Amino acid sequence: MSHDPFLDAALEEARTGRDEGGIPIGAVLVHNGEIVGYGHNRRVQEGSVIRHGEMDALEKAGRRSADFYRGCTLYTTLSPCPMCAGAILLYGIPRVVIGENQTFLGEERWLREHGMEVRVMNDQRCIELMQRFIEEHPTLWNEDIGE
């Protein structure tokens, strides 16, 4: 089975977050076929209220022009929450590729309503990673998604 190399990179970021004791959600920002920002959820590791995988990838990509973001695709292992979807819309990132939305359905519809292209892969590796984490760490998972 062949995989998208950018989703593979986001999944590797998610595994890094898990290995650090955090929540296994990863993301990469891609511009013209090149990864310009890698990230993973660092809420636990940094005691952060906003450092989701998507936010981490954007932060690591650094300050860029509006034109730059309009040429990007964001790959994320999990459907984006309202905060991350807001950042995607704020920066005008036109395409989002989502590893899975079975364990959490984020703001995909809202992104589409605002003209963003959203593609959900439902990659079994992403699903299994999150299912295992949720089973092993339900309190931490519920804290992260606000339940």
Which residues are known catalytic residues? Answer: 54
Is the CB of residue 145 less than 8 Å from the CB of residue 81?
yes
Find the helix or strand (DSSP H, E) in which 3 lies.
none
Q: Are 91 and 36 in contact (CB under 8 A)?
A: no
Q: Which of 63, 26, 58 is nearest to 42 (CA)?
A: 26
Sign (positive or negative) of CA dihedral 53, 25, 78, 135:
negative
